[in-house]
Amino acid sequence: MTASSPISVPLGDGRDYAIHLRPLADAPALLREAGLAPHQCLVVTDATVAALYLDPLRNALEDSGWTVHTHIVPPGEASKSTDRLTALYDWALGLGVDRQTPVLALGGGVVGDLAGFAAATLLRGLPLVQLPTTLIAQADSAIGGKTGINHPVGKNLIGAIWQPRLVLIDPATLHTLSERDWTSGLAEVVKVALIADAEFADWLAARWDAVLAREPSVVASLVQRSATIKAKIVAEDERETRRRAILNFGHTFGHAIERVAGYGTFTHGEAIALGMRAALHLSRTLSPDESFDRAEALVARLPVPPGLAQISTDALTAAMSTDKKRHSGQLRFIVLDHIGQARVTADVTPDAIEAAWKAAKNA
Amino acid sequence: MTASSPISVPLGDGRDYAIHLRPLADAPALLREAGLAPHQCLVVTDATVAALYLDPLRNALEDSGWTVHTHIVPPGEASKSTDRLTALYDWALGLGVDRQTPVLALGGGVVGDLAGFAAATLLRGLPLVQLPTTLIAQADSAIGGKTGINHPVGKNLIGAIWQPRLVLIDPATLHTLSERDWTSGLAEVVKVALIADAEFADWLAARWDAVLAREPSVVASLVQRSATIKAKIVAEDERETRRRAILNFGHTFGHAIERVAGYGTFTHGEAIALGMRAALHLSRTLSPDESFDRAEALVARLPVPPGLAQISTDALTAAMSTDKKRHSGQLRFIVLDHIGQARVTADVTPDAIEAAWKAAKNA
């Protein structure tokens, strides 16, 4: 990996932080740079990631004087539960953490969300360090401070905005991802391109085979560009009162797919890929644009398993109404004006929603 | 009650809020002023407070177009538990809250901390309105955004800083407090005077009989002055990285007393009153000042039940070492330079701590 300048996330109020694309072994140096002096730290990870990356990280930290405590959760969405959170609290408080004890989240979105929420709420807030190892986490979820767990009523309904002190992305970890996790992550990459960077969308389309093959220089560029876009949007609107909402492009539809199909049938990325098909159709209905053909072609390149066509449209529409992005009881959608520009709208008819679902099913 | 100007809490970043000393029935007008339009709201309270103040509040809200959902918890510290929090989550999410649904915490510190933490973490943050009805809450805990629940390892170990959108203090509610709750609350009032306002300390000493008798004009002034000091300190240092720590005067000792004696033996205020005796002795040891005689005389006026002398000093000292205010493993104390000025120090010998405990026991 070639060294690149860190991406800064300027939040003000003493909470600015940097996103570094560097090898995981650089963690001790970057912790020190972020003002975290060697002491004790908590590393939270899952069993899959632990087998690959825990030992080298722990060795690097211990060599720099850190005392490392490790907590390993089972891989998968089911770990974003109140039971796992309670176990994490009991473990951390039993160790005698203090307010200078950092929590290092080593893994994908599940580990980042769970460990991040624990960091947000232990002693009213411990320093959080995100060490994302999946594409979805490196390009999206590890940046921006959203943390949380699931509730039987829906995903991510309990959580907090808690910014990391540091994000360290090692793109080399992406080469151990399964094929499905890689292509699922690409959905969020395509999403940021479509909503905010037309040139990046063209770049992706032009080298899609190299993207699928994970050609190392393409992987590093793709992560760098996605993370930069995400960081910029988050810095403009940390608490999602305005512009940050565009990051939910495809998500109102996608969350409904996950909820109705059952979590696990589609990955999050696959549900978002399908959701973007629906959202693009909705965008066409509201204001047609010639760039939508290219947008649809790019989204169509994201592999998704079959099954959406067999799900009832009424059930999908009903599931959307419990989405937490509702605003004063009203459902909102993210639509494109053209590739690279998105906006929020609540001005959508039931017919347009039904047509959008049909388009996603038939694509 | 005479109308008074609201106390402002300037936090910046769009999060400034006001503390109003007004009748509870003014809640609907103040919600609107704070940008919260009538829709649905969640009122969390305890059974004792509900019997006294829930109906008039609900009527006022409903008359202004609010749909009011009510959740009543048992009175007492035991309600700051993960079980109660989970029940609150299930209830709120079952109702279909959205991000504009405010949580109104009607009650004392327990209700404020529990409902405040639920507000901080439901959908990553709902608007919070503090309606404190006890002295300890009006003078202290409802201001500043500290929310949380207890854990078997210690009090308030799980929580968040989540600022209210509005604090409405109705001092008339203080007249229904038990004698013990009133005098317990006075400990936090004496504390803010000792750490930050010598003139207020003199004012309290000069009219202590009227304070104990809850003479209405004295009550309103006392709450107004305490809340103003608290608001000023919090606005200067929201996340307790510096000056806010002085609000913990008496608390390192006091928390240890609560932990060893068992919660419920002493009220929080009584433990803090005893803790301030120890902290004043420690202050004398570090830098004697002629004002300490007056400080000790004021603290001595706070009624506390007997029992501290029977508790082992070693057990108390050991209990201090799990305090969450530790900094990189080191215990810190708040001491006075003189009445009206406090500072944080870690430079305390075991002998000085032992002598401080002895002084508190013998006072």
Residue A146: list chain B partners with CB under 8 A.
124
Cβ–Cβ below 8 Å for A99 and B327:
yes
- The pLDDT assigned to B1 comes to 44
Average pLDDT in the A264-287 region?
A: 96
In whole angstroms, how far apart are CA A38 and each of A21, A57, A161, B138, B338? 22, 14, 26, 40, 36
Q: For strands B341-345 and B333-338, give the pairing.
A: antiparallel
Q: How many residues in chain A?
A: 363
The DSSP output letter for A165 is S
Dihedral (CA of B266, B268, B273, B276) sign: positive
Q: How many CB atoms lie within 10 A of CB B218?
A: 18
CA distance A223 to B330: 41
Phi, psi of A295, rounded to the nearest 5 degrees: -60, -45
pLDDT band at A328 (very low <50, low <70, confident <90, very high): low
Residue by residue, pLDDT tens for chain B (363 residues) are 445 789 999 998 889 999 999 999 999 999 999 999 999 999 999 999 999 999 999 999 999 999 999 999 999 999 999 999 999 999 999 999 999 999 999 999 999 999 999 999 999 999 999 999 999 999 999 999 999 999 998 889 999 999 999 999 999 999 999 999 999 999 999 999 999 999 999 999 999 999 999 999 999 999 999 999 999 999 999 988 888 999 999 999 999 999 899 877 999 999 999 999 999 999 999 999 999 999 999 999 999 999 999 999 999 999 988 665 555 567 899 999 999 999 999 999 999 999 999 999 987
Whether the predicted pLDDT of A221 surpasses 90: yes
B238-B243-B247 Cα angle (round to 5)? 85
Could you tell me which residue, B240 or A254, shows the higher pLDDT?
A254
> Tokens at residue A32, please?
């020190």
Q: Which residues of B touch A (CB under 8 A)?
A: 12-13, 37, 39, 82, 86, 89-90, 93-94, 96, 98-100, 120-125, 146, 148, 151, 153-154, 156-161, 239, 322, 324-329
| Burial degree of A290 (CB within 10 A; 0-12, 13-18, 19+) | exposed
CB distance A61 to A131 below 8 Å:
no
Residue A339 and residue A291 in contact, taking contact as beta carbons nearer than 8 Å: yes
**Cβ distance A253 to A308 under 8 Å?**
no
Structural contact between residues A34 and A165, judged by C-beta atoms closer than 8 angstroms: yes
Which residue on chain A is closest to B94 by alpha carbon?
A153
Question: Between chains, do B157 and A39 touch, taking CB under 8 Å as contact?
Answer: no
Q: Which class for A347: exposed (0-12), middle (13-18), buried (19 or more C-beta within 10 A)? A: exposed
Residue B61: exposed, middle, or buried by beta-carbon count in 10 A (0-12, 13-18, 19+)? Answer: buried
* Domain over B179-362 is classified CATH 3.40.50.720: no
- CA of residue A348 relative to chain centroid, distance: 27
pLDDT digits (tens, 9 = 90+) for A84-113: 999 999 999 999 999 999 999 999 999 999
Domain spans of chain B, in order of start: 7-173, 179-362
HSE-CB for B331 with a 13 A CA cutoff: 17
Contact A151 B89 (CB under 8 A): yes
Smallest Cβ–Cβ distance between A100 and the set B100, B322, B327 belongs to: B327
Q: How far is B88 from chain A (nearest CA, A)?
A: 11
pLDDT in tens, A230-242: 999 999 999 888 8
**Å between B91 CA and nearest CA of chain A:** 11
Please work out, in degrees rounded to the nearest 5, the angle formed at the alpha carbon of residue A130 by the alpha carbons of A129 and A136.
Answer: 170
Residue A78, C-beta contacts closer than 8 angstroms, at least 6 positions apart: none
Taking the CA of residue B221 and the nearest CA in chain A, the distance in Å comes to: 32
- Distance from C-alpha of B145 to C-alpha of B128, rounded to nearest angstrom: 9
Q: From chain A, which residues contact B within 8 Å (Cβ)?
A: 12-13, 37, 39, 82, 86, 89-90, 93-94, 96, 98-100, 120-125, 146, 148, 151, 153-154, 156-161, 239, 322, 324-329
SS3 A284: helix
Say how far apart CA A29 and CA B157 lie, in whole Å.
Answer: 30
- Please give the backbone phi and psi of residue A263, each rounded to the nearest 5 degrees, phi first: -65, 130
Per-residue model confidence (pLDDT) at position B363: 77
The Cα-based distances of A46 to A35, A43, A60, A74, A115 in angstroms read: 27, 10, 19, 5, 11
The residues facing B19 across adjacent strands are B7, B167
**Sole residue written with tokens 């539960």:** A81
Q: Locate tokens 């003189």: which residue?
A: B338
Question: Complex ipTM above 0.90?
Answer: yes
Record: fold of A7-173: Rossmann fold (3.40.50)
Contact B324 A125 (CB under 8 A): no
Question: B interface mutation test: which of A69, A97, A156, A158 has the most B CBs within 10 A?
Answer: A158
pLDDT at res. A327: 55
Residue with tokens 């009006």: B138
Check whether A330 has a pLDDT greater than 80.
no
How far apart CA B332 and CA B244 sit, in angstroms, is: 13
pTM for the full model? 0.94
